[in-house]
Structure 1
């Protein structure tokens, strides 16, 4: 059966971040993901995971000045040194948290730089990160993101992401498939999941429009969850949505999948 992890960046926003681990466990989640762990001491986060019996499923490599609007630096030719330093930091955190996969955010394509140079930079950074992560027993993921929410985001489609993975020449790079982003960009959700199952290491979800919980929009999530079981997907599905009201009030969609604490 499909297994779900809570994205703590998006869910349980009514409580402080450290308290979201307990909230996720009470709701019945067995795993968590979030954008970045770097504002916290890794030992504090590890203690929270252990205390609440949660697996750290995923976090991102450092992605530049997030508060300032940057959405990754992997495609930026003038930030290669910073990117490589960030890979080392991410591995340290992943080891401390028992996290077996990290996502690289490509970033917004820079203006005034030739497209082939941007591509070469991204591929070289992916190759560097994939090698370093492989030595640590960690998988590298690439996530396409829709260009309505983040105009100019460099990796914005499944085919492009797979081509970049192939160009890296590494067998330690996988696709992170976000159902919400790919519904907005290309549709064909079930067919794409089936066709590229072997390269998909992680899935995320939200409904569309609105990026709220399943059942609030146009995506047939009961069908997709059954489809994932039929095709044998055995990874996690990250719940990366904006609750329409509170997280707890919007968990009705998950009644058949989560076992809330008594």
Structure 2
């Protein structure tokens, strides 16, 4: 049976961030994920998780200067020290929040860097980060992101991600398989799931409706079929609900759009 995590960076945007934990729990979610925790003290976030009986299942490592358009540092030559410092900071939060996985954004390939230099830097950074993360029991995830939403991102395809995991060669590096991005770039999702899930390299799955990135019951994908397939293949991980509610920041908008998930959430 699928297990769903509310992505608090996208859901419940009518509420201040720290109030979204209670809202997610009230709707029956048992786990949460979000982009970045660093605007808050780790202890404050841990207290919210404990108060509402939630598990933290994922967040992102520091991405560089997000407001300036940076989307990760892993592939950026010359930023290795800053990248390593960000990983250390992420692992402090991961331990405080009992979070077993951290997503490491690859970054936008610099216009003055060759593809070979970006790849070499990326593999080196992930190897070093994985060894540090492994020492505290944390898995690192890499995620292909579609070029329509994030032009110039280093990593966009599932086959590319799995080849990189094999090259990095660390057991705690896995792929974050976002079905929204995968559908836009590649399609044929059921066959992609059948191909990659049995490898053991898929550490987390995320969903959203395609193409508008709204609720999963809107758009071109039939998610119940994919959920059943994940069950048939024995996927026991979390499915992150990383979508923009159609009603946006309207009070109650997120909750009103959860009809698609009610069969899989505990009754309130």
| Deviations, residues 52-89 of structure 1 (Å, cap 9, x unaligned) | 00000000111011122111111101211000001110
2:78 corresponds to 1:78: yes
Q: Counterpart of 2:14?
A: 14
Q: Counterpart of 1:187?
A: 187
2:31 corresponds to 1:31: yes
The offset of 1:124, in angstroms, is 0.5
2:122 corresponds to 1:122: yes
2:216 corresponds to 1:214: yes
2:265 corresponds to 1:258: yes
| Deviations, residues 22-44 of structure 1 (Å, cap 9, x unaligned) | 00000100000000001100000
Distance 2:67 2:266 in 1: 35
The offset of 1:259, in angstroms, is 2.0
The offset of 1:157, in angstroms, is 0.4
Distance 1:184 1:52 in 2: 35
Q: Provide the TM-score with structure 1 as the length reference.
A: 0.98
Distance 1:121 1:129 in 2: 12
Equivalent residue of 1:77, what SS?
A: coil
Distance 1:127 1:182 in 2: 25
Distance 1:241 1:97 in 2: 23
Q: Counterpart of 1:200?
A: 202
The worse-fitting range, judged by mean Cα deviation, of 7-16 and 68-77 is: 68-77
The offset of 1:260, in angstroms, is 4.5
Equivalent residue of 1:43, what SS?
A: helix
Which consecutive residues of structure 2, in runs of 5 or more, have no partner in the other structure?
248-252
The offset of 1:184, in angstroms, is 0.2
2:246 corresponds to 1:239: no
Q: Provide the TM-score with structure 2 as the length reference.
A: 0.96
When the two structures are aligned, how many residues end up with a matched partner?
261
| Deviations, residues 148-195 of structure 1 (Å, cap 9, x unaligned) | 000011000001111111111211110100000000000121111121
Distance 2:188 2:103 in 1: 23
Distance 1:260 1:131 in 2: 41
